[in-house]
Amino acid sequence: MSRTARCLFAIGLSASLAAACGDDDTVDTGSGGSGGSGGRAGTAGTAGTGGVAGTAGTGTGGTNAGGDGSGGTGTARTGTGGTGTAGTGTGGTTGTVEPGDAGPDAADGGDVLADAGAPPRACPDDLGVATAGAFSSDGTQNVIITRVVFRNGGADVTFRAQNADFNFADPMTLCTGSENGDCDDGVQALVENPDGGAGTDLAEDEEVTYFTTGVNPVAGELALVNGAPTADGASIVFAYIAWGNFVSAAPTAPGNSALPVSLDARAADEGNGRWTLGERIDVGSDSTIFATGDVTTADDFNACTDN
């Protein structure tokens, strides 16, 4: 049998055997498709976001990573790629919010910006007894202030006659400042005769109390003056007291005197000195001032609050 006949017979058996029948008769039927690439694994879940103003939540990693893609089935020269299941992730839990800090010393309202003064101090059982030793080192002074009790926008002022009887008659005024309008001439009505007889004098070593308005319990001054300070700069200061952070001012129209014109300066200049210039009684938050010794110095006054 000829070579040609053998080849034809081979074609009928199998296309794959035909390749053996001579190089110049080879038929290209196409290569099989390549296997598909594996599907890409799923991306892990993103960690949870921390809670606001608290401890950050911890995220749980993604689960179910994508599986490998299955191989593609070739059709001629093409193949179908494999598929994969994407991974899933659980978000982090919300953080626990911590209580906020209200700042330094929140319970007591923060730092203290101004001192309100010493707390109130209890008064002696009997202020009359407590002030019994009050006196003036100025031997020319005939009346002293032994107590001041602040109340109702004013004060009860207690005077004591010293070394002689004392007369409150006109032009006597009780002043809370150096202007004429700061003075109360109602003090002229103070008359007392402990024996019950007629008279306008306060007897030596006796006391009388007068209420005057416009007194600042935190800081101020009181002066018993024989005349309005502005009308006469030479008017005598018979008794004086000052307390708190206070500056005694001169009157706007100082009168006709060459003497110092602020009330504390006048008191310091009067007689042998009826006040120590510039001194102030530490009243704190108390409601009462009382003398225990020399009334010419703030050091011999105390302060208290009567319960």
Longest alpha-carbon distance in the chain: 182
Domain-embedded: residue 292: yes
Instruction: Give one DSSP letter per residue of 195-230, joined into a string.
Output: TSSS-SEEPBT-EEEEEEE---SSSEEEEEEES-TT
Find the angle CA(185)-CA(188)-CA(191) to the nearest 5 degrees.
155
- 18 and 150 both lie in a single domain: no
- 146 and 258 both lie in a single domain: yes
Domain-embedded: residue 110: no
Domain-embedded: residue 121: no
Domain-embedded: residue 114: no
**Percentage of the chain surpassing pLDDT 90?**
44
Residue 116 confidence (pLDDT) above 60: no
Which of the two residues, 288 and 118, has the higher pLDDT score?
288
Please tell me the predicted confidence (pLDDT) of residue 190. Answer: 84
Task: Compute the half-sphere exposure of residue 272: CA atoms within 13 Å on the CB side of its CA.
Answer: 9
Residue 90 confidence (pLDDT) above 60: no
Residue 295: count other Cβ atoms within 10 Å of its Cβ. Answer: 26
- 8 and 135 both lie in a single domain: no
Domain-embedded: residue 9: yes
pLDDT average, residue stretch 53-75: 40
- 142 and 11 both lie in a single domain: no
**Residue (of 261, 221, 226) closest to 241 by Cα position:** 221
Counting the structural domains of the chain, the total is: 2
Q: What is the spatial distance between Cα 172 and Cα 236, in angstroms, rounded to a whole number?
A: 10
List the domain range (segments joined by +) for residue 7.
1-25
pTM of the predicted model, to two decimals? 0.60
Domain-embedded: residue 150: yes
Instruction: Give one DSSP letter per residue of 273-301, joined into a string.
Output: -SS-TT--B--TT-SEEEESSBTTSGGGE
Domain-embedded: residue 153: yes
- 132 and 20 both lie in a single domain: no
Domain-embedded: residue 58: no
Q: What is the spatial distance between Cα 264 and Cα 239, in angstroms, rounded to a whole number?
A: 10
Residue 80 and residue 35 in contact, taking contact as beta carbons nearer than 8 Å: no
pLDDT in tens, 165-224: 998 988 899 999 988 889 999 998 886 555 655 556 888 999 999 999 999 999 999 999
